[in-house]
Amino acid sequence: MSPETAFVSHARNHEDVVLWRALGHLPSGRYVEVSSRSTAEGSVGRAFADRGWHGLSLDVTPEDAGRAAGLDARMSAGGWAPGDDLHFVAVAAPGATSELLRGVDLQRLRPWVLVVELAQPEAAAERPEDWEDDLRAAGYTACLFDGISRFYVAADRAAELGDALGHPACARDGFISRAHLSALELNQELVDQTTHWRTQALTRWADAVSLVEAREDGDDERELLRRQVLAFQQTLSWRVTRPLRAVRPLLGRVRVR
């Protein structure tokens, strides 16, 4: 699959790829993303927004998590009508997860899928057990832990989505990471610049050669200039392709999926 048609993953651990596998058949949808990082960085919802989905993104800190509560009210203020399908809620606010989830009326909003990022084990201030009892009581079942995030599916959607949500992103999903795509774009930009400047330089040297050859007594100068052109080509090629040589190791380190 080419970069032009591949699904571009923005999420830290490609959680958006798993969600797209389960929900990508829908022509459009709605989501809510709550994060203690800027939702512009490692966003789970960005790829969906790029494909026409409607989303509500909230940037919070553990200290002001309470202000992110009452998501149903925020959704109403954003023009979402009661009964509109909410396809997923992604929460990435380790240390404030329990409080944030308590602000979601799961019975009324009924998101199809919940994605909850966990804190690093050594820094964890809370455990999944702190909220999973409430999720089970609301009719949600854990279906995947990808090493960073836990996925939960609503009981009434488990038969439809459970299998697709059952394993992490893999090569068969046909996606490309945002970092990989950026490296490819940079590589193409450098190739274009190299081609442009080589063409400019060689054209000017060719014009100079033509002027010398037009002179009747230019044999010695013509030979000297030919040697200079050859040396210049070799030096120019090495210099202008230096950025390409710098970016290729980066491309090699980015895993192609």
Mean pLDDT of the chain, nearest integer: 76
HSE of 230, CA atoms in CB hemisphere, 13 A:
6
> If DSSP codes are grouped into helix, strand and coil, which group holds residue 110?
coil
Tens of pLDDT, residues 50-66: 999 999 888 776 565 55
Tens of pLDDT, residues 148-176: 899 999 999 999 999 999 999 998 888 78
Which of 114, 149, 157, 118 is CA-nearest to residue 134?
114
d(CA 254, CA 180): 6
Q: Identify the pLDDT of residue 256.
A: 44
Does residue 142 register a pLDDT over 80? yes
With cut-offs at 50, 70 and 90, classify the pLDDT of residue 105. Answer: confident
More confident residue, 229 or 149: 149
pTM of the predicted model as reported, rounded to 2 decimal places: 0.68
> If DSSP codes are grouped into helix, strand and coil, which group holds residue 90?
strand
* Token duo for residue 87: 């396809």
Q: Identify the pLDDT of residue 235.
A: 64
Which stretches within the chain are classed as H helix? 15-23, 46-50, 71-77, 97-102, 106-109, 129-137, 158-161, 178-213, 219-240, 242-253
Q: Indicate the range of 78-92, 124-138, 241-255 predicted with least confidence.
A: 241-255
More confident residue, 50 or 192: 50
Residue 80 vs residues 21, 74, 105: alpha-carbon distances, Å? 25, 9, 15
Does residue 218 register a pLDDT over 50? yes
- In degrees rounded to 5, what are phi and psi of residue 118? -95, 155
Tens of pLDDT, residues 14-28: 999 999 999 999 999
